[in-house]
């Protein structure tokens, strides 16, 4: 996934990526590879956020994604990952986490209620 031969850097990046992926507001983490839709081409990372899904009903922020690109202030992919983690923690904790948890709980309850209805109907 990462364009580096340095095993220590890869290990660090893997650890930060796993930490990001375990955050309740994160849907998917992806690496951006010289996307041509920007000038100059963008390289870095982005996450899709669960804050924008149905959790908006429960107080989520409705932001679809966060991304950090290699710039003068983030000169490596590892720095981009670390900054992305910081941004998610700063911008999408608290209300966003509560909203996602409330949404997931409601989904489980709806699924459970539907399953109970099927059982009662078949008896």
Rounded CA separation 39/99 (Å): 36
pLDDT at residue 19 in the model:
97
Range of the domain at 82: 7-122
pLDDT digits (tens, 9 = 90+) for 4-56: 678 898 999 999 999 999 999 999 999 987 755 555 667 899 999 988 766 66
Please give the tally of structural domains in the chain.
1
Extract the tokens encoding 111.
Answer: 């699924």
Residue at 113 is within a domain: yes
Residue 66 domain-assigned?
A: yes
End-to-end CA distance of the chain: give it in Å, rounded: 52
In order of 14, 18, 99, 119, the CA distances from 112 in angstroms are 36, 30, 20, 11
Structural domain includes residue 1: no
Q: For residues 104, 44, 92 and 100, what is the CA-based torsion angle, rounded to 10 degrees?
A: -10
* Residue 55 counted as domain residue: yes
CA separation (Å) from 11 to 14, 44, 52, 75? 5, 17, 31, 18
Lowest mean pLDDT among 25-29, 43-47, 60-64, 76-80: 60-64
The answer to whether residue 56 is domain-embedded is yes
């Amino acid at each position: 996934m990462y364009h580096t031969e340095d095993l220590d850097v890869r290990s660090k990046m893997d650890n930060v990526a796993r930490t990001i992926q375990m955050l309740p507001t994160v849907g998917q983490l992806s690496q951006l590879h010289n996307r041509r839709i920007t000038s100059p081409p963008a390289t870095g990372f982005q996450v899709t956020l669960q804050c924008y899904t149905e959790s908006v009903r429960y107080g989520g922020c409705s932001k679809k994604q966060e991304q950090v690109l290699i710039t003068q202030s983030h000169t490596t992919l590892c720095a981009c990952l670390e900054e992305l983690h910081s941004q998610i923690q700063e911008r999408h904790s608290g209300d966003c986490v509560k909203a996602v948890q409330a949404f997931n709980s409601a989904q489980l309850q709806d699924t459970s209620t539907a399953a109970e209805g099927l059982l009662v109907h078949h008896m």
